[in-house]
Structure 1
Amino acid sequence: MTAARIEPDAPAGPHRPPVRPREAVSGLLRRPMASYYLLLASSGLLLGLGLIMVLSASSIDSYATSGSAFTIFIKQLTFAVLGIPAFWLALRLPMRVWPMLGWPLVVLAVILLLLLPFLGKEVNDAKLWLAIGPIQIQPVEVAKLALVLWGSAVLVRKRPLLTEWRHLAVPLLVVSVVLFGLVGIEDFGGMVLLLFILIALLWTAGVRFRVFATLGAIAVVGLVPLIAGNPERISRLTSFTDPFAHQDQAGYQVVRGFYSLGTGGWFGLGLGQSREKWGGLPEAHNDFIFAIIGEELGVLGCLVVVVLFGALTYAGIRVATRVDDPFRRLVAAAGTVWLAGQALVNMGGVVGLLPITGVPLPLISAGGSSLVLTMFVVGMLASFARHEPEAVLALHARGRPWWMRWAGIPLPELPGRSRQALRSGRAGRPLGRPTHRTRTGGRR
């Protein structure tokens, strides 16, 4: 009698091929609310990492000046808490209000910049902060937001006339030159970021290439006197070419930043174990916090920061390409270039690829007005992400959850096309994609 051969059990269901990471990520990005959640995730992680690194980088300096290792951190945490209402305000502002904010912000920015020489607080031979009682703000941050909103509204209004120079020059270039001049007197890095914003606006609006060539020539001519008339800027440029030859003077901060980055290696010395923050590296919790990240968290920590900023930039550009309103498209593109360009200028200066300009690392460096305005801009981008056509359908299909009603965040307005798609049951499916049909016209 032979023993019966036991066959292995067959799988209960059909064989499922393993999910590849690339396909999984692609599937997540195809979801209607992908831009919104990617903005929240990347900016939230950057803010959390920034608070941790400000505490670590500022503890020694804070204890030496105030007797407590938490003074600067508590101040930064306070501004982060104040940034939450700014984010919430930007998230719930009606779309019709955004174009109206341009001119008031331009007027406010010009007034603040004109007051800066008289009421400004001088730090490192430059007046960048305006002290009004207990409140200190950086007028350049208001100027950036003003140029984004006002410039977008002007370009949308003059869209059919952008081929004519006089319509492009008045008032866009005139007001831009006024802002550049007032900012560039004290803050060269801020003026460079304003130039980035203007270029992003013109590029997104479809201005011809010869306009960029002309603006580039004008910018070079205008930058020369602003650099030549300031000895500190000249010393920064000369030390940029060979910082070790000027390590006792203008190149000191750059060289100490190199030492900080080089000490960390791949995995870093450990959180809180930086050596350069013990008085060796100036502005360790502010402009050069990226060097402390490299020292304590290593190359991997720096790569995490770069990836998070890359995700934030991708989400912002995705919003700019998917919204159907020209004004929102321009604002999203310019706001994204603002944040990405500022991060690039800061990190490029720390690693020696760009001259030092003194701009903070968004969401990470210590700084009150910069953090609050940055969170406002992120809230603005998140609001525009909720107004993508597919996102509008998905939000109306699911309704307002309790937390959205509690926070007072309204549903985005439903356009006529989206309303028809919602009624036909296409909510959450990309607009404009035809349904799969056979050649005979029947549905598969």
Structure 2
Amino acid sequence: MHADHVHATAGPPGAWTALRGPSARPRPARPSGAAPARGTAGRGPGTGGPPRGRLPGGQGGLRALHARARRAWDRPLTAYYLILGGSLLITVLGLVMVYSASQIKALQNGLAPTYFFRKQLLAAAIGTALLLVAARLPVKVLRALAYPLLAVSAFLLVLVQVPGIGETINGNTNWISLGGPFQAQPSEFAKLALVLWGADLLARKQHKKLLTQWKHLLVPLVPVTFVLLGLIMVGGDMGTTVVLTFVLFGLLWVAGAPTRLFAGVIGVTGALAVLFIKTSANRMSRLDCIGATDPGANDQCWQAVHGIYALANGGWFGAGLGASVEKWGELPEPHTDFIFAITGEELGLAGTLSVLALFAALGYAGIRVAGRTEDPFVRYAAGAVTTWITAQAVVNIGAVLGLLPIAGVPLPLFSYGGSALLPTMFAIGLLIAFARDEPGARAALAMRQPGVRWKTMRRRVKKRPSGER
């Protein structure tokens, strides 16, 4: 075999460019039997020097690894797999932690140890069906559902306040009994309604080129959102109003609202929030518990402090699954609002960082879907869903860490609660559907179907003469 053939086939295609940069040129082939050039002796394979084409100190290998990671990250299906895999892992880990954190609570209430876990598992099964349906629904159907869903959500929010229909839990009247042990929280479905309705409204206004006027950005989006916020606040649910406000901000931000207009909406919302907090002693006490290290005279910061205790007990790798101490009656709501604290106690810092990484990947994928699509409705809906999930996760985790006041919102896909899990999984299905429509994603998925790639390759192969290899 000739030397020029050796140089032409050594290494994968493009390896030289990846290692040495685009300006590098291959060296001319050395005639067979010629002596090596000055300074190159001992650099070939088996001579003890670094392999040809690799920079000293492993810089070339790191550069090639970085290039491969960039190519993998920029593939059309990256967002699709991040959303699908990230949401699946969060849900499965949440089921495990609900089972671990809720057993003592169930026994204290005279129930079977698996009571809360079985309800959450049922909700996850129904949510999975909703996710699959949402991932297959066309955009036209989603836009057609926007107004009916908004009207039904508003009606249910009014129905909650009717005596004899609404139920009060932990001081908040936000529940409707469905019979037996099942309740529904309409405010959770209002988040999904606002996402679809707001995205459809802004997309239609963009089609008519009306979003350049500030009044079309605000009306009727902001007034309708404030009506939903008022109906929720009548029941006393401050946490859901905060998340719904973030969804409004996400829609305005993706729609390209001017900074002055955006700041004005934030100012008005902030003033209303201060008013609601000042007029409630319970909400004022929650502000006092930010960063608290002592339960206080009346144990008003008991939950916040014991959440920190649970995280501190976990250490690096946790006490072990099921070995939490705080869930034995010390930490209220260990399977709902403060399940992240139990996760830190049983799985340690490694477990909590894993949960944070999964939410970060989910947030990145949602932003990527919103940024790459050409459909205005998809862009607004993806941006609003991403804002909803990430903002709610930040509010929940921030409260557990003592950085934010306790708002009473569950950790999305993770905490116990079917009313929160069902609309969230439907929203995840929307993100999966949108990610499949990214440029090149649908073609890449078609190529991954069984038999498609092999048939495509067979069509591309030319017939060769008999005996040719």
Interval of TM-score (by shorter of Structure 1 and Structure 2): 0.7 to 0.9
Structure 1 residues 325 and 8: alpha-carbon distance in aligned structure 2, compared to 1, 3 A threshold: closer
TM-score if structure 1 supplies the norm length? Answer: 0.84
1:334 equivalent in alignment to 2:384: yes
Match of 2:219 in 1: 170
3-state secondary structure, aligned to 1:384 = helix
Higher-Rg member (1/2): 2
3-state secondary structure, aligned to 2:167 = strand
Which of 166, 182, 187 matches 1:120?
A: 166
1:142 equivalent in alignment to 2:192: no
Structure 1 residues 139 and 266: alpha-carbon distance in aligned structure 2, compared to 1, 3 A threshold: same
Decide which moves more: 361-370 or 63-72: 63-72
Question: C-alpha separation between the residues in 2 aligned to 1:8 and 1:91?
Answer: 53
Which of 49, 52, 69 matches 1:25?
A: 69
Match of 2:231 in 1: 182
- CA contact under 8 A between 2:174 and 2:232: conserved in structure 1? no
1:138-161 deviations in Å (ceiling 9; x for gaps): 111111111111111111222222
Question: C-alpha separation between the residues in 1 aligned to 2:94 and 2:446?
Answer: 35
3-state secondary structure, aligned to 1:130 = strand
3-state secondary structure, aligned to 1:349 = helix
Decide which moves more: 353-362 or 217-226: 217-226
Match of 2:177 in 1: 131
1:65 equivalent in alignment to 2:109: yes
Q: Mapping of 1:228-243 within 5 angstroms?
A: 228-240=278-290, 242=292
Question: C-alpha separation between the residues in 2 aligned to 1:295 and 1:100?
Answer: 45
Q: CA deviation at 1:21?
A: 5.2
1:211 equivalent in alignment to 2:255: no
Q: CA deviation at 1:301?
A: 0.9
Amino acid at match of 1:270: G
Structure 1 residues 269 and 21: alpha-carbon distance in aligned structure 2, compared to 1, 3 A threshold: farther
Query: What count of residue pairs does the alignment treat as equivalent?
Result: 396
Amino acid at match of 2:309: Y
Structure 1 residues 247 and 279: alpha-carbon distance in aligned structure 2, compared to 1, 3 A threshold: farther
Question: C-alpha separation between the residues in 1 aligned to 2:312 and 2:202?
Answer: 46
1:223 equivalent in alignment to 2:267: no
Question: C-alpha separation between the residues in 1 aligned to 2:81 and 2:174?
Answer: 34
1:244 equivalent in alignment to 2:291: no
Match of 1:343 in 2: 393
TM-score if structure 2 supplies the norm length? Answer: 0.79
- CA contact under 8 A between 1:324 and 1:389: conserved in structure 2? no
Question: C-alpha separation between the residues in 1 aligned to 2:83 and 2:211?
Answer: 32
- CA contact under 8 A between 1:63 and 1:70: conserved in structure 2? no
RMSD: 2.4
1:36-80 deviations in Å (ceiling 9; x for gaps): 111111111111111111111111111232352211111111111
Name stretches of at least 5 consecutive residues in structure 2 with no aligned partner: 1-43, 55-59, 453-459, 461-469
1:81 equivalent in alignment to 2:125: yes
Match of 1:288 in 2: 338
- CA contact under 8 A between 1:163 and 1:208: conserved in structure 2? no
1:207-258 deviations in Å (ceiling 9; x for gaps): 1111111112211222233223322112212232646263643211001111
1:259 equivalent in alignment to 2:306: no
Q: CA deviation at 1:116?
A: 1.2
Identity of aligned residues (%): 46
Structure 1 residues 21 and 355: alpha-carbon distance in aligned structure 2, compared to 1, 3 A threshold: farther
- CA contact under 8 A between 2:344 and 2:352: conserved in structure 1? yes
3-state secondary structure, aligned to 1:320 = helix
Question: C-alpha separation between the residues in 1 aligned to 2:339 and 2:251?
Answer: 30
Question: C-alpha separation between the residues in 2 aligned to 1:360 and 1:187?
Answer: 12
3-state secondary structure, aligned to 1:246 = coil
Match of 2:365 in 1: 315
Decide which moves more: 332-341 or 369-378: 369-378
